[in-house]
Amino acid sequence: MKKLEFYFDLSSPYAYLAHKQLPALQQKYKVDVVWRPMLLGGVFKATNNKPPISVPAKGRYLHHDLQRSAKQLNIKFQISPHFPINSLPLMRGAMVLQATQPEKFMPYINAMFDAIFADGKPMGEQAAIAEVLAELGIDAQQFAADIATPENKQLLIEATDKALELGIFGAPSFIIDGEMYWGADRLASIEKLLTPA
C-alpha cells in the first residue's frame, strides 16, 4: 500500500478542497493517507514566501478560482469574511489531538475546516473555537491549557521544521514515492500514480 502524506494548515482554502477529496481517493485506491499538520505562517516566514491573497491581482483570481473549483468538485465552500485567520491555536490543537487523542483528530480537522470554509465562522476567535470544540465533546478550557504548554508548542514547531526539511513551501503539499507535489490540483497527478497500470 502506498503512503500519501498530506501537509496542510487549516487556514488554507486549497488545503480544504484537497482534504475534502482525500477520503474518496483513499477508498478508491486503498492508499494510506497521513495527515501532517504544519504552521503555514512559519513555512512562509522560513521560505520568504507570502500568502497569495497579499498580492491584489492574485487574490482576486484566487477568490474566483476557489469558487469555481469548489463548484466543479461539488464541495460546499465560501470565502469567510474573517479570512485570513490566525491558525496558530488551531494547528497546535491539531498536533496535541493527533499525539494524545488520535480518535478525535480527524473529527477535529473535519469540523474546523468546515467551520472556516463551509460555514464562514470566525475561527480566529476563542469563542468560535470553543463552540466547535463543544460540538466535538472537547473541553475548551483543557484545550486552551494543553496548547499553551511548551512541550505541546514544540510539537508544531518540529512538524513545521520537518515540512521545511522536505522542501515544502506552501499548502497543501503532498509527499508520495519520495516526490513532493504542491497544490490541490496536483491530486490529478497523484491519482495517475495510484492507478494500476
Peptide bond into 51 cis (omega under 30): no
Q: What is the pLDDT of residue 83?
A: 83
* Distance between CA atoms of residues 163 and 34, nearest Å: 13
- Output the tens digit of pLDDT for each of the chain's 197 residues: 899 999 999 999 999 999 999 999 999 998 999 999 999 999 999 999 888 777 889 888 988 999 999 999 999 999 878 888 999 999 999 999 999 999 999 999 999 999 999 999 999 999 999 999 999 999 999 999 999 999 999 999 999 999 999 999 999 999 999 999 999 999 999 999 998 86
This prediction has a pTM of: 0.95
Q: How many domains does the chain have?
A: 1
Burial 155-192 (b: 16+ CB within 10 A, else e): bbeebbeebeebebbbbbbbbbeeebbbbbebbeebee
Cβ pair 78, 120 in contact under 8 A: yes
* Distance between CA atoms of residues 90 and 108, nearest Å: 9
CATH for 32: 3.40.30.10
Q: What is the pLDDT of residue 128?
A: 96
Determine the structural domain holding residue 125 and report its residue range. Answer: 3-194
| CA-angle at 8, arms to 4 and 12, nearest 5° | 135
